[in-house]
Structure 1
Amino acid sequence: MATLTATTAAPRVNRVPQPGIWLPAYTLWRREIVRFYRQKARVVGVIASPLLFWLVLGSGFANSFHSSGSSSDKYLGYFFPGAVAMIVLFTAIFSMMSLIQDRNEGFLLSVLAAPVSRSSIVLGKVMGGATLAAIQGIVFLVFTPLVGVHPSLASIGISVAVILMISFELTALGFTIAWPMDSPQAFHAIVNLILLPLWMLSGSLFPASGASGWMRLVMLLNPLTYGVDALRNALFPAQATSFPLAINLAVTAGFCLLTFIASWAIVNRRSNRPAA
């Protein structure tokens, strides 16, 4: 009598290959770039609004503004780094509003359901928005001759590096704010409450030396102050600035790291509800 030996075979599991971090991040980054430049009105608005703001506000304040060590007709030059920071801020805000749009349209839910790391989402979205903001800020540097500035190659290199860091930190901060939100209206409220005052109290409009005691303290605690001051260091090396360039770069780089860690942490929270 034949003896049958039963063998139990382990079920075969078909594992989905993981694409890694960089390919999904690159895909999301490229999507941000393509979507932005397909919207021509958005591109024009990001450049035109700060340019008009810089010319109108700078011309209006020119006769009443007196910065330490400079005459009143130099206000347009003083305000120029703040105008660059404004362009970066506006671009970062609009880029991170797309995060809410992606959630409402279901695209973000599809990305979260895909076998990709959530770190790829953070990296792709933040790098996409930071790239757009940096490009707009760098393009604005062509207006430096209007304020009598002809920067050297070293000054341009430092300015580009500072713009890249400011773009990254503001985009990562905007990502952290926009991720848990369900509506653009709520995001706009936070922008008006936090991000715009962050820019206004960064030394863009007036120096910290001329502010009152409590406001001067707030400006010194504002990390964007050091980015704007670093731009002023690079573009106007002959003028007195609030801090040395090394301190400005160190604080700006530290805030870049802090905001990216915050954006990464909020996405990887297990209790977080990423899509509605």
Structure 2
Amino acid sequence: MEPARCLVSDRRTAIDQQPRGRAVIDAAYASWALLSRDLRAVSRSRSQLYSSLLFPLMLLALLGTGVSSGLAPTSPRILNGDYTSYLAPGMIAMTALFSSTFSSAGFYRDRESGLLRAMLASPHSAQTILFGKALGAILIGTVQALAVLVLAVVIPGIDLAWQFGWLGGVATVVVTILALNFMLSGISLLLAVRIKTMQGFHLIMNLVLFPLFFLSGAFFPLDQVPTWLEVIGYINPLTYAVDLLHYASYADSPDGLIGPLIDGLVLGGLAMLLFVFGLRRAPRAV
């Protein structure tokens, strides 16, 4: 065994032999250090911050107003033909998707620069390192999505209807966004096992994840599309996040498209399963 690997192995053995409480504290501190590093990097990237907020707002203003005025949508799920308000929850989900995906790409930048391998030479386990980086992507995606929610609330012309009252609706939106970001981070970790370059990662995202988002009900109600598209929508994991956001902040019916209980169970189960599985598999990618 190489001397450096022997040293790392000895350090990890020493950590493993620590009292369990102390080992957990050390792992939490290491994860927090990585999370803080990624947050500082994003805070210095003004272009990422501005684009993550401006793009969904542009869609709300241009697409929402254009469809509401020019096409007069008649779906019963678009209340009073107000497509802009229908679009708002989808834009919140899209912000989480873009932000989480962009932040997850940092995994590839760190791997290609050799920084990730240097991190893994620390006494902490690969899962601890990857957990810290994943939490950074989750927190960034959540904060930016909530910023769009705040803007949607204060912008005139967007009429959000809170199913559980204002406080309960906002709490449902926050939990939904968190679960969505955990699910997206799990997917990113699993992709890292098979995809070795950042270019390949973005290609897969463009070919698979973004089309799934378009078929999630964010841009048009799934109950008005051909049957084959509706079937894809129901097996699409993003559909359950978008539907729950619609239920919490827009839908006038008591159950939305699918139902809040089913939405929550499917989204929560997928988020937990994909994140834990991705965290266990991703160390093979480094």
Tell me if structure 2 keeps the 8 A contact 1:33–1:132. yes
Normalising by structure 1, we get a TM-score of 0.87
Provide closer, same or farther for how the CA distance between residues 255 and 45 of structure 1 changes in structure 2, counting only shifts above 3 A.
Answer: same
1:81-230 map, 5 Å = 81-142=89-150, 143-145=152-154, 146=156, 147-149=158-160, 151=162, 152-230=166-244
Q: Is 1:38–2:44 an aligned residue pair?
A: yes
Of the candidates 238, 252, 257, which is equivalent to residue 267 of structure 2?
Answer: 252
Distance 2:39 2:77 in 1: 42
Equivalent residue letter for 2:153: T
Q: Where does structure 1 lack aligned partners over 5 or more consecutive residues? A: 1-13
Provide closer, same or farther for how the CA distance between residues 108 and 213 of structure 1 changes in structure 2, counting only shifts above 3 A.
Answer: same
Secondary structure of 1:204's partner? Answer: coil
Normalising by structure 2, we get a TM-score of 0.84
CA deviation string 1:175-228 (max 9, x = no partner)? 322454332221121011111012111110111111111111110001111111
Provide closer, same or farther for how the CA distance between residues 79 and 124 of structure 1 changes in structure 2, counting only shifts above 3 A.
Answer: same
Question: Cα RMSD between the aligned structures?
Answer: 2.0
Tell me if structure 2 keeps the 8 A contact 1:209–1:216. yes
Structure ID, larger Rg: 1
Provide closer, same or farther for how the CA distance between residues 225 and 186 of structure 1 changes in structure 2, counting only shifts above 3 A.
Answer: same
CA deviation string 1:9-52 (max 9, x = no partner)? xxxxx943425432221111111111111111111111111211
Of 256-265 and 33-42, the range deviating more from structure 2: 256-265
Of 68-77 and 117-126, the range deviating more from structure 2: 68-77
Secondary structure of 1:203's partner? Answer: coil
Secondary structure of 2:216's partner? Answer: helix
Secondary structure of 1:238's partner? Answer: coil
Equivalent residue letter for 2:170: I
Q: Where does structure 2 lack aligned partners over 5 or more consecutive residues? A: 1-8, 16-22
Partner residue of 1:5?
none
Of 78-87 and 53-62, the range deviating more from structure 2: 53-62
Equivalent residue letter for 2:214: M
Tell me if structure 1 keeps the 8 A contact 2:173–2:245. yes
Secondary structure of 1:192's partner? Answer: helix
Tell me if structure 1 keeps the 8 A contact 2:89–2:218. yes
Q: Is 1:234–2:267 an aligned residue pair?
A: no
Provide closer, same or farther for how the CA distance between residues 231 and 28 of structure 1 changes in structure 2, counting only shifts above 3 A.
Answer: same
1:135, CA displacement in angstroms?
A: 0.2
Provide closer, same or farther for how the CA distance between residues 119 and 86 of structure 1 changes in structure 2, counting only shifts above 3 A.
Answer: same
1:115, CA displacement in angstroms?
A: 1.6
1:273, CA displacement in angstroms?
A: 4.6
1:91, CA displacement in angstroms?
A: 0.3
